[in-house]
Structure 1
Amino acid sequence: MIKTCVSMGLVALPLMACTDLNTTPRQSLTPEVAFNDVSGYQSVANSMYNRATSFSYYGQTMMIAPEILADNLRLVANTGRYQGEEANGDRDHIAIWNGVVYGGINDANLIIETIDDETVSGEEQEKSFIKGDAHFMRALFYFDLCRVYGYEPGREVNGFNLGPILRLQPTLVASDADFRTRSTVEEVYEQIERDLLAAIPLVGAVPIGSEGVYYANTGAALTLLARLYLYWGRMEDAEAAATSAMNLLGLRTNGDGLLEAGQYVQGFSRAPHPESLFELELRQVDWSSVDGVNNSLNSLVSDNEPAAQFIIGASNELMAAYETGDVRRECWRETTREGIEGPVYASRKWTGYKGDFLENLPIIRAPELYLIRAEARYQNNPQGAREDINALRSKRGLGAIDNLLSGEALLNRILLERRLEFALEGHRFFDLKRNGRDISKHADFLEVPYTDYRILANLPLSQIQLNENLEQNPGY
């Protein structure tokens, strides 16, 4: 079958990048095989997961870019990579409006739309799980598109409220293609909520850090739902979803269920990560012989391999934010780099522990639940918020925070804990943005005001030219 790329509703030249429409066969499957047997649908699901591990998505971009766009990372070698993002240059942002993310959405759409057909053979339980898996992954894909390309509801600048194009039916052939306008972020959030609520009863619960976290599961879906509500400003719902997930997973109010302080650093060299709720598994067969050294997280941010590029380290401001005794600081190793005065800091989170720069990607970890719930509580239940923060800190080698901390100071403390806990896991820029804050920077780089157009990523020019109904983000 010939690969045909279509973009924003029009057939494009075969050599152009596919974006929000995909008509490619999945891993050389014919539609007859894919649509008649549950094993074919599992192959489509595998395609969906393979896309998520792409270097232009969670394999690199979604972990590094949100950190260096803000104040957690700095360049320690000049190779031309991430220079624009460090300086927040025009059109130097997070580029996920592409065939990887929209292709994953199309994979999910194909599963959801057709797997229940009575002509599809296979166990109903297996079919239900694959369908739930697709609902979860579609929610994740759309959530990321919203936070990269749109403002959170209630945080719009000059009333601009558009998000991604919303497609819920698969594009199987070029004739399915149609022009579409962008949906509002609120509309897409509503669909993400529906997808996660659909996934929760279908995927089933698995223990934290078990091999079940390599797929969608109830705990991960509840956590992503809680995160969605936090971004949405629905604090009571965020607290309720986080509490449900914590109860399901056995996470206690004293922090039990999380790693002990002495195990924290080692946890990032185990598969699955002992605190993982959802983790993308990578194997050697998923990479070419040069992928690791050229594009892996391990090569770019660590120096434990002689051939590693090691071009990105922790900012001095991030290192200064750690308290004495915080085991999270041990996720950085002090070293030197030619051409850089003073110490630089290499990551010990991304260590390539599987060999040849390879490692799994923990996407959702259990400590996020404590910090989601703390943020959801900070205004109406500051004591509960402080208890959640202290529960996490007790597992990171730290004592309790000030028992009188409240209001804006308490929110600042929560955001600081998120900064330290999830450094190099792709949260920092979004945590500032969703709270309507200016984007703080390291060293002499100027902060980016929240009202600046560079808060949102630009849509690819080729897509704007192809689809006259597609509105570019303001300022580009």
Structure 2
Amino acid sequence: MKYLKTSIRLKFIMLFAISFLLQNCSNFLEQEPGDKTSITEQLKDKKGVLMALNGLYLTLKNNVSGEIFSVYPDLQGGNIKFSPSLGSSTKGEITIPENIKEVYSFEDQSTDSNFKLFYTSGYSIINQANLILEYTDALADATTAEKSQIKAEALTIRAYMHFLLSEVYSQNYGYTQDASHMGIVYSTHSISNGITYPARETAANTYSLIINDLQTSLDLYSNAILFNGPAYSYFNTNSTKALLARVYLSKKDWKNAYDTANDVIENSGVSLISSADYISQWEKIDLPTSETLLEFSVTKSTDGSVSGSLSSYFGYTFDTNYERYTASQDLIDLYETNDIRKQLFLVKTLSTLVNLQPVMLNYYFTKKFQGNPGYVAFRLSEQYLIRAEAAIGLNNPEQAKKDINIIRERANAALLTTTDNISETLFLERRKELCFEGHLLFDIARNKKDISRINGCISLSCGLTYPSPKYVLPIPLNTLYINSNLEQNESY
């Protein structure tokens, strides 16, 4: 993994930490006091813009790889349960982490949402991207190719963050027949352009804007290399197409989803990990798998300390040093006996309080996120499964079976011989292959399924019946106070 140094970026995080909520502070963009540097001064040349873009990647990485978002889709969907406490006074107890307690129980509150920081940081990231887009064309010391590449990456980041916000705060695209239900606020201008109070777009318009940004960015990508780091650390044509395929899938635009995923599979130059290397590739400490299209890597400071590793949530070192999130038996039971993906779990027997008595129980720590793992945003396996789901939507179940079998053969699982129940088979294949990579809850919603958490669920509410307003989270209340045009989600 590429370690991102924080020292040169800190002032840019501070410089750009002007969130969507702080529109009344827009004068800061015009003239900063004291020894601070104005936005105009900072973004006047290529060096400043590139440092800002590098800082933007860091803030994006921090938002998506933070505990709240990185565990949310799998925790809500039922792939994750909690490990026993190591605290001296609570040793062996199973409790819900406080910072996600309300979300886990489907009781998140607008007044103090567990996801408030994800929302505000998300719109701050979008504002940062917009600032970069607005200043790039005027750069006198950048080549045409460099300016085009800068804009391509900033546009992709803008689209990606809007897409993630829509997944969390807007019901799935098919919730209404014409996608006329509420989407999200889509911001295409920085707050330096003046105070505005936008309303939420419809889901249909939200997706149209996301797709437009991605298609525009694909036309802008050039051969210019902006940074010295490995290609998997930054958006490029391949990872942008992978995102676009995911967006089309969420929209159930089957033809475009199929064609875009197929383009990545056929033309990216990236290949699936072989069966022989599958486990060892995931076990690598400091590099992503060879089929990774984009990974937001961990941050390493000048003193060598690491932050932002997903091992902070999923890691296991030894029986007195492990983290809070493990695989549920619901997930483990989906794998066939000979499926090599079962080897992606460290099985540890830990003392657990059951009816106030210590009992030794098995826990399954994923090997995907041991050592210094970053956030896996896109990898090639997902594209095969996108192509398979799109094929089903296009009434081509044989192609879907073929793609599912590619993934299953690699895993040493039994091959499909029929297309019976192919949609359910695909759903479960995604759950097994992409576990802990941020898909399950959104797959459940897209397929209009109920949420059912069985093993390890310690909430008073262990499931939801579709449709339900609780499939999405509340808009933070302080945002509603600032923007009177912003409508809250149902039931909040």
Q: 1:331 aligns with which of 344, 363, 382?
A: 344
Residues 430 and 286 of structure 1: CA distance in aligned 2, closer, same or farther (over 3 Å): farther
Q: Which moves more between the two structures, 175-184 or 365-374? A: 175-184
What amino acid is aligned across from residue 237 of structure 1 in structure 2? N
Name the counterpart of 1:121.
141
Is the CA contact (8 Å cut-off) linking 1:258 and 1:366 kept in structure 2? yes
Deviation at 1:80, TM superposition (A): 3.0
Deviation at 1:102, TM superposition (A): 0.9
Percent identity over the alignment is 26
CA offsets 1:323-364 (integer angstroms, 9 cap, x no match): 122222222111123325421111211112xxxxx3322210
Task: Classify the secondary structure of the residue corresponding to 2:272.
Answer: coil
Say if 2:424 is the partner of 1:397: no
TM-score with structure 1 length normalisation?
0.85
Residues 412 and 205 of structure 1: CA distance in aligned 2, closer, same or farther (over 3 Å): farther
| Structure with more relative contact order (C-alpha pairs < 8 Å, separation 6 or more) | 2
Residues 44 and 99 of structure 1: CA distance in aligned 2, closer, same or farther (over 3 Å): farther
Aligned positions, number:
446
Unaligned runs of 5+ in 2: 1-13, 85-94, 354-358
Deviation at 1:202, TM superposition (A): 2.9
Is the CA contact (8 Å cut-off) linking 1:72 and 1:442 kept in structure 2? no
Partners of 2:299 and 2:314 lie apart in 1 by 20
Name the counterpart of 1:104.
125
Deviation at 1:61, TM superposition (A): 2.6
Q: 2:373 aligns with which of 353, 359, 368?
A: 359
CA offsets 1:288-338 (integer angstroms, 9 cap, x no match): 96x85xx74213222126774511110011011111222222221111233
- The CA RMSD over aligned residues, in Å, is 3.1
Is the CA contact (8 Å cut-off) linking 1:239 and 1:372 kept in structure 2? yes
What amino acid is aligned across from residue 70 of structure 1 in structure 2? G
Name the counterpart of 2:486.
470
Partners of 1:124 and 1:299 lie apart in 2 by 41
Q: 1:322 aligns with which of 316, 319, 335?
A: 335
Partners of 2:149 and 2:329 lie apart in 1 by 45
Q: Which moves more between the two structures, 163-172 or 367-376? A: 163-172
Partners of 1:312 and 1:181 lie apart in 2 by 37
Is the CA contact (8 Å cut-off) linking 1:9 and 1:180 kept in structure 2? no
Deviation at 1:195, TM superposition (A): 1.2
Task: Classify the secondary structure of the residue corresponding to 1:364.
Answer: strand
Q: 2:449 aligns with which of 434, 437, 443?
A: 437
Name the counterpart of 2:43.
35
CA offsets 1:385-439 (integer angstroms, 9 cap, x no match): 00011111222222311x2224xx1111111111111111111001001121112
Name the counterpart of 2:382.
368
Query: Structure 2 matches for 1:70-469, cutoff 5 A?
Result: 70-77=77-84, 78=95, 79-91=97-109, 94-95=115-116, 98-117=119-138, 119-156=139-176, 161-172=181-192, 176-203=194-221, 211-250=230-269, 257-268=271-282, 269=284, 270-285=286-301, 292=307, 296-304=309-317, 308-339=321-352, 341=359, 342-352=361-371, 358-379=372-393, 380-401=395-416, 403-406=417-420, 409-443=421-455, 446-469=462-485
Partners of 1:85 and 1:167 lie apart in 2 by 26
Task: Classify the secondary structure of the residue corresponding to 1:363.
Answer: strand
Q: 2:54 aligns with which of 37, 46, 52?
A: 46
Name the counterpart of 1:69.
76
Unaligned runs of 5+ in 1: 15-20, 252-256, 353-357
Partners of 1:369 and 1:286 lie apart in 2 by 37
Partners of 2:474 and 2:312 lie apart in 1 by 28
Is the CA contact (8 Å cut-off) linking 2:78 and 2:331 kept in structure 1? yes
Deviation at 1:106, TM superposition (A): 1.0
Is the CA contact (8 Å cut-off) linking 1:94 and 1:148 kept in structure 2? no
Residues 243 and 41 of structure 1: CA distance in aligned 2, closer, same or farther (over 3 Å): same
Deviation at 1:184, TM superposition (A): 1.4
What amino acid is aligned across from residue 146 of structure 2 in structure 1? E
Deviation at 1:245, TM superposition (A): 1.4
Partners of 2:234 and 2:203 lie apart in 1 by 26
